[in-house]
Structure 1
């Protein structure tokens, strides 16, 4: 996200647009935390820092029309005509409401979950993915050394992309997501197949928000079941918030710059209320009222690919 803020600011300055930033997202906007973005030290450091230097927040109050009008008034009081929102689907929904309230809004996709339907990749996804791969590779080392099975839970909210991409990148034996949920008995059956076919260590990647919820047991309980039913020592690992930080990857910074350029180019050409997406190195825009309605396609083919490769080990 920092690379996107940096690129937006520098490109805006280059075409004589004065950039400001809002501290702490929508909540900061409502309370008037709007400042000039002219600190060169800030801009120069942004390529190497993870997280968000300008902060972020959840702001449920903006669901109220009165609050949204107050947010727009904060911008107009400083003669700010356009608001750039970097975030996920929730941020985009908020941006669409602000557009209806009368401010020009541009959306850039920023979330590790890769769950913004109007783009092929989001800012944050590649950095998070690479962090997961590093951690899973380390877990694989100990799994092989001790002939163990490891269940590794990764983030993604309700999007399976982090788990699927990490499974392919690490050669995990199995990936389980919200699109292919497996019952504990199915998991133990699959592990017995792996062991019968000669596997001595196993890595299973699992999306969050599946196990330990409603009627499904927790990962720790499943690990104990696998140990007793399959005869292989099994441990559960939750990577947690390490996935939300870390130095941005090179691809991340390039993607952010490409999207920022497309945002500024379309802004100076008179476009209003749009989001920016990226496929490969090709950036494009989508009207924001359309962007929030696009449904993310199924990932079943990629899940099949990941599990076919895992089964072949």
Structure 2
């Protein structure tokens, strides 16, 4: 193994730059030639591949997003597209590829490994929706970003004695809503893994009013329902018109937390060391704060489950 490339794919997440930096500098430490691929798999097709050195990744560990850029490639999903990507890699004698992204990005890596390119995946997504690992790069930062917004929204909700629905990202995984909801003191948390109990939420709001509570924060995961429909149901059940705050892409941006920087750095080093062992079609994960590698097939075959102990705790603390 002499030549290794790295790319970021899919949605950006804080900490991706730290992971890229770790891959590049670890590769250089082991006397490898390291290449950066711009704009994800699209860059493999357009041959937008540049050799990197230590200075290429200077002063990026603290920055959000990905300086290699990212995109989604329709052409790469075709057989001809994948052949073109492999040809471009092999023309440069690139034997290994580190892919930083989510499940879709991993499936691309899985395909390339079957074409003779050694691939290692690093989980980079704010959704924390990959079942094989405890945490993904960017999740901790996103939780803190939502938490900062909740703190500010709470001030206005209290001042106006209003119920507020805060819709967060996460696709069909409720981790972002759950963790941010608990840390932000949300009275109700709605996640895709548990059906919406409108009567229960309305009951909490009414009970809170009886004891003089000035506001009610509802944390809604985007995959758990529609904020406007929930707003209408609450009017019918409580007579109160809740305000809606959809946080959107603000959750993806911003400087990564210390936790995400450290996790990304550890995973970047581990990914290169796996390639040096001639391992392929594997992903890096963390469990009980220990890093490990696992076959992509096995990792993608696992179904993400909500941590019921944390969810139950949220219910207890919402009184």
- Per-residue deviation, 1:300: 3.2
Q: Please, what TM-score do these two structures have when normalized by structure 2? A: 0.90
Matches within 5 A, 1:188-203: 188-203=202-217
1:308 aligns with 2:302: no
- Per-residue deviation, 1:280: 4.5
1:145 aligns with 2:159: yes
User: How far apart are the structure 1 equivalents of 2:106 and 2:59?
Assistant: 27
Residue of structure 1 in register with 2:17 after alignment: 2
Find 2:257's aligned residue among 246, 249, 260: 249
Residue of structure 2 in register with 1:25 after alignment: 40
SS in 2 for 1:172: coil
Find 1:36's aligned residue among 48, 51, 71: 51
* Higher deviation after alignment, 24-33 or 193-202: 193-202
User: How far apart are the structure 2 equivalents of 1:283 and 1:134?
Assistant: 29
Residue of structure 2 in register with 1:82 after alignment: 96
- Per-residue deviation, 1:267: 2.1
- Per-residue deviation, 1:60: 2.8
Structure 2 unmatched runs, 5+: 1-15
Residue of structure 1 in register with 2:201 after alignment: 187
Residue of structure 2 in register with 1:207 after alignment: 221
User: How far apart are the structure 2 equivalents of 1:270 and 1:209?
Assistant: 39
Deviations 1:184-219 (A, max 9, x none): 44532332233334422111100003333xxxxxx2
Find 1:289's aligned residue among 297, 304, 317: 297
Q: Please, what TM-score do these two structures have when normalized by structure 1? A: 0.91
CA RMSD of aligned residues (A): 1.8
SS in 2 for 1:84: strand
The answer to whether the 8 Å contact 1:96/1:105 transfers is yes
- Per-residue deviation, 1:30: 1.3
User: How far apart are the structure 2 equivalents of 1:269 and 1:180?
Assistant: 42
User: How far apart are the structure 1 equivalents of 2:220 and 2:68?
Assistant: 32
Residue of structure 2 in register with 1:13 after alignment: 28
